[in-house]
Structure 1
Amino acid sequence: MHQLSKISMDMAYDAILWLALDGSIVYSNFSASRYLGYSEEELTQLTIFDLDPNYPREVWPQHVAEHKQKKSVSLESKHLTKDGRMIDVEISCNYVEWDGQEYFCSIVRDITERKESDNSLKLASLIYSETSQAMLVTDQENEIIAINPAFTALTGYAWDEVLGKNPKFLSSGRQDKSFYDSMWESLHLRGTWQGEIWNRRKNGEIYPEWLSINTVYDEKGAVYRRIALFTDITEIKKSEELIWNQANYDALTGLPNRRMTLDRLDFEIKKSRRENLPLVVLFIDLDGFKEVNDTFGHDIGDQLLIEVSQRILKCVRESDTLGRIGGDEFVVILGEVVDIDSTDRILKEMLNAISEPYLLQNHAVTISASIGLALFPDDSEDASTLLKSADKAMYEAKHRGKNQHCWYSELKTATR
């Protein structure tokens, strides 16, 4: 080969391989050695079938004939490097006659990185279009420039309805200005934010979502894009609420259970201490409930408990707490009691209401209640002891003949 031509080909960026019509390599340039890992001498000992082990030898004669007829053919293939890697290549194969000999001059470019990039773009496009997470992209002015199908499915808004809009049009109004100020502070400082937020669908429905926002910067460090991913967490919130209710509320009456009642009592004690106002705890035990349960069955017993809880609730303020802490045991927390004497009126109403006859599944039922009372801070300054004091007073009321009440202070006086 002419020396000047050889020098020119060695300077080429792309690999150049000259093949005889039997597929053997008769010449290679420096770039071919660079990307394949073979020396020029080693390459001249190889054939196209060594570089492309998947090439079917039996079709080579047919391809030779086609290439000679077309003169120039472009294709993509894979080549095997000396270290065993398979790389993607783009080949421009040209039929050449030189000094009475026939050759294929193949210009080969390594496109592995481009292929990987294309695959990454295809994967990103697939994720973008097929993911169940809603996605929107905004520009540096925080205007929407792209959404995915999941966005439309979740919000109800189509592409032409959101293009160019600020995402704040989705806001439900449930979060205040300080919430969004904190979000934007995180985005400005760290470029990311994630958390729970309430937004509004096109049909007006307000729903909770888990939102993640990430910022893409340009080469100068300025905001280029912001990408938001979000998921409807309505069902998760419902499950969490159900679990919380089951842990804190009585399934039968819907009243706070023992755990929640004690938490409320702790809270009210702290409040009373802060405001320097007394607090009264009523421990209520139903007289005759066991007999009703044994005589008429658990269904009637359950209905009775529900009815009793409704009657007690009508005797107390909305700010007071009524909890069911046991089978037929209830606790009332009367907070911020300005006038202790007013408690007697509540007690009278409560005892009368509970002792009124009940009609349950055509069965007339009559019960009463024994009520023990303890006063904060006189009888105790902690929730557990205050409840125990009210319990002791309740047993004294039951001992005195039932359907009445007893203050814990009366027990303390009697023991002196």
Structure 2
Amino acid sequence: MIQEQDAQALRYREARFTAMFQQSPIGKTLVDLQGRFAEVNPRLCEILGYTAEELRQKTFSDVTYPEDLAADLNLVADLMFNRRQTYSLEKRYIHKDGHLVWVAIDVTLVRDGAGNPLHFIAAVHDIRQRKEHEALRLNYQTELERRVQERTLELQSSRETLQTITDNLPILIAQVDCNLCYRFNNDVYRQIFNIDPKTLLGKPLTAMLRPELYRELLPCFQRALAGERVSHDNIQYSLEQDRIWSATYIPDVRHGEVVGFYVMSQDVTERKRAEKALVDKAMLDPLTGLPNRRALHDRLEQVIAAARHDGVPFTLFFLDLDGFKLANDTHGHEGGDEILKQVARRLGQAIRKDDFISRLAGDEFVIIASGVASEAICSRIAKSVCDAINVPFSLPDGPAKIGTSVGIALSSTTDNLSAESIMARADAAMYTAKRKGRNNYQFASGSAELPHNVRPITLRKQED
């Protein structure tokens, strides 16, 4: 009976994995060791303009823009020789009709139990729109630089006229000599920093920039004096002002010699806020307000890095709700959604303030407890979670009773400390908890090997 249930669960997981692969909003493909497309999903076909059958007759080299192929092949070699586990790359594909398509790819090499390479798995993100926006911003910046340079060269003989023009441009403009001293500042310095620009003439940049900011920007100054146009983002000139600036340093070349550089700084605070709001929105589950799969990926990478480099342990709890499908069928989808919202709130109340909670998908949740390496503490956390979820949920059409099974994986007992391995181990422990009666918790074993009936857990970044 148990074997039949396991077989049914395996078929269900395989069907769910196939559905996720085919219905993913990003391109996904399985590539064999000869570089041929073995499996492709509809989104990748849409990005490249080929049918699935046409792509299966091609290799990734066939559709990669020749100038981008060498970098891709070098990274593939790194995977084959185990110099890295995954790689990410921005590159250009050649669409079926001949035009170029900018994509960002995330590639992983899958190996068998003996460590032999089997095939590659790649996620392909269409970034054409972002590249178009970058090109527009670059064109705008280039045009702005061109205009300022033209005006500066034309009006060098008349500082008063130059001052009048630059004072009315909505950007910080300065001229710096090869000794890193100010030769010119527009009146925007007065408006932003309450400093008379005339008092800065002849003074070193250290008179204006605090020491840590000067050290941060010094490489840009040096590159500009070497004749290179340089840009630097996320500059905070004043700690008293919550303003973010983007600066460009343009070499001042006269008679073939660099005699200094020009500084043009734009206030990009509102753009940065808008970008952050978009990122924040993309990192949250719209139903529960919890961090989503993408946010979980980022947090896991952070705690794994801290564990590897600083020895900071962490524990991952994998939760799957018991009886949720029955409750969802009984109370309808609205009732099911309300349960998930209440689960999110109860989890926040049941765990420590600094612990991280994420909704992975459906009725699956993940908790990351940083700094926790004790099984006793983990047991208390897991019991608190189980007790919190086991309390009946109040719904408009009556109470609903569910539970949760929890799998626990400690970073200190993980041989291969990676996001995929620790997630898979916690997931396996969760299924063990379900088999042992549900609404309880189970610790993962110390081995990194997984039973054959345990699904692989993938956490590559994707749209949720």
TM-score, structure 1 normalization: 0.54
Query: What residue number does 1:142 align with?
Result: 181
Contact 2:167 2:186 (C-alpha < 8 Å) held by counterparts? no
Query: What residue number does 1:251 align with?
Result: 286
Query: What residue number does 2:147 align with?
Result: none
The Cα of 1:237 is off from its aligned counterpart by 1.7
Superposed CA offset, 1:112-138 (max 9, x none): xxxxx999838x969747755443345
Unaligned runs of 5+ in 1: 1-116
TM-aligned CA distance change 1:198 to 1:285, over 3 Å = same
Query: What residue number does 1:233 align with?
Result: 268
Query: Which amino acid in structure 2 is aligned with residue 384 of structure 1?
Result: E
Please state whether the residue corresponding to 1:308 is helix, strand or coil: helix
Query: Which amino acid in structure 2 is aligned with residue 136 of structure 1?
Result: A
Answering whether residue 432 of structure 2 is matched by residue 396 of structure 1, we say: yes
Please state whether the residue corresponding to 2:346 is helix, strand or coil: helix
Contact 2:250 2:263 (C-alpha < 8 Å) held by counterparts? yes
Answering whether residue 252 of structure 2 is matched by residue 216 of structure 1, we say: yes
Superposed CA offset, 1:16-65 (max 9, x none): xxxxxxxxxxxxxxxxxxxxxxxxxxxxxxxxxxxxxxxxxxxxxxxxxx
Query: What residue number does 2:360 align with?
Result: 325
Query: Which amino acid in structure 2 is aligned with residue 210 of structure 1?
Result: S
The Cα of 1:314 is off from its aligned counterpart by 3.9
Distance 2:243 2:312 in 1: 41
TM-aligned CA distance change 1:309 to 1:186, over 3 Å = same
Count of residues in Structure 1 that have an aligned counterpart in Structure 2: 291
The Cα of 1:142 is off from its aligned counterpart by 3.2
- 1:367-378 equivalent positions in 2, closer than 5 A: 367-376=402-411, 378=413
More strand by share: 1
Answering whether residue 278 of structure 2 is matched by residue 205 of structure 1, we say: no
Distance 2:176 2:445 in 1: 69
TM-aligned CA distance change 1:398 to 1:214, over 3 Å = same
TM-aligned CA distance change 1:193 to 1:250, over 3 Å = same
Superposed CA offset, 1:193-224 (max 9, x none): 4212434579x53211111133536779684x
Contact 1:277 1:338 (C-alpha < 8 Å) held by counterparts? no
Query: What residue number does 1:352 align with?
Result: 387
Query: Which amino acid in structure 2 is aligned with residue 383 of structure 1?
Result: A
Please state whether the residue corresponding to 1:342 is helix, strand or coil: helix
Distance 2:305 2:335 in 1: 39
Query: What residue number does 2:222 align with?
Result: 185
Superposed CA offset, 1:308-365 (max 9, x none): 2333234444554322110111112344444222221111111112223445679655
Query: What residue number does 2:422 align with?
Result: 386
The Cα of 1:398 is off from its aligned counterpart by 2.8
Please state whether the residue corresponding to 1:164 is helix, strand or coil: helix
Please state whether the residue corresponding to 1:256 is helix, strand or coil: coil
Distance 1:336 1:409 in 2: 20
Query: What residue number does 2:376 align with?
Result: 341
| Comparing 377-386 and 229-238, the one that deviates more | 377-386
Distance 1:145 1:304 in 2: 64
- 1:17-416 equivalent positions in 2, closer than 5 A: 121=154, 128=166, 132-137=170-175, 142-143=181-182, 145-147=184-186, 151=188, 155-156=191-192, 161-165=196-200, 175-190=212-227, 193-199=230-236, 204-216=240-252, 223=259, 226-269=261-304, 271-272=306-307, 279-296=314-331, 298=333, 301-317=336-352, 320-359=355-394, 364-376=399-411, 378=413, 381=416, 382-409=418-445
Larger radius of gyration: 1
Query: Which amino acid in structure 1 is aligned with residue 322 of structure 2?
Result: D
The Cα of 1:390 is off from its aligned counterpart by 2.3
Superposed CA offset, 1:281-319 (max 9, x none): 321012343444455555554444343233323444455
Distance 2:151 2:235 in 1: 37
Contact 2:220 2:232 (C-alpha < 8 Å) held by counterparts? no
Contact 1:372 1:395 (C-alpha < 8 Å) held by counterparts? yes
TM-aligned CA distance change 1:145 to 1:265, over 3 Å = closer
| RMSD over aligned Cα atoms | 4.7
Distance 1:328 1:369 in 2: 10
Distance 1:157 1:146 in 2: 12
Query: What residue number does 2:129 align with?
Result: none
Query: Which amino acid in structure 1 is aligned with residue 174 of structure 2?
Result: L
Query: Which amino acid in structure 2 is aligned with residue 179 of structure 1?
Result: E
TM-score, structure 2 normalization: 0.49
Distance 2:347 2:398 in 1: 21
Superposed CA offset, 1:257-277 (max 9, x none): 224424433554454455678
Please state whether the residue corresponding to 2:249 is helix, strand or coil: strand
Query: Which amino acid in structure 1 is aligned with residue 296 of structure 2?
Result: T
Contact 1:284 1:370 (C-alpha < 8 Å) held by counterparts? yes
Distance 1:379 1:214 in 2: 51
Superposed CA offset, 1:344-398 (max 9, x none): 1111111112223445679655432111223446566243233223223323323
Distance 1:302 1:193 in 2: 50
Distance 1:227 1:200 in 2: 17
Unaligned runs of 5+ in 2: 1-149, 156-160, 453-464
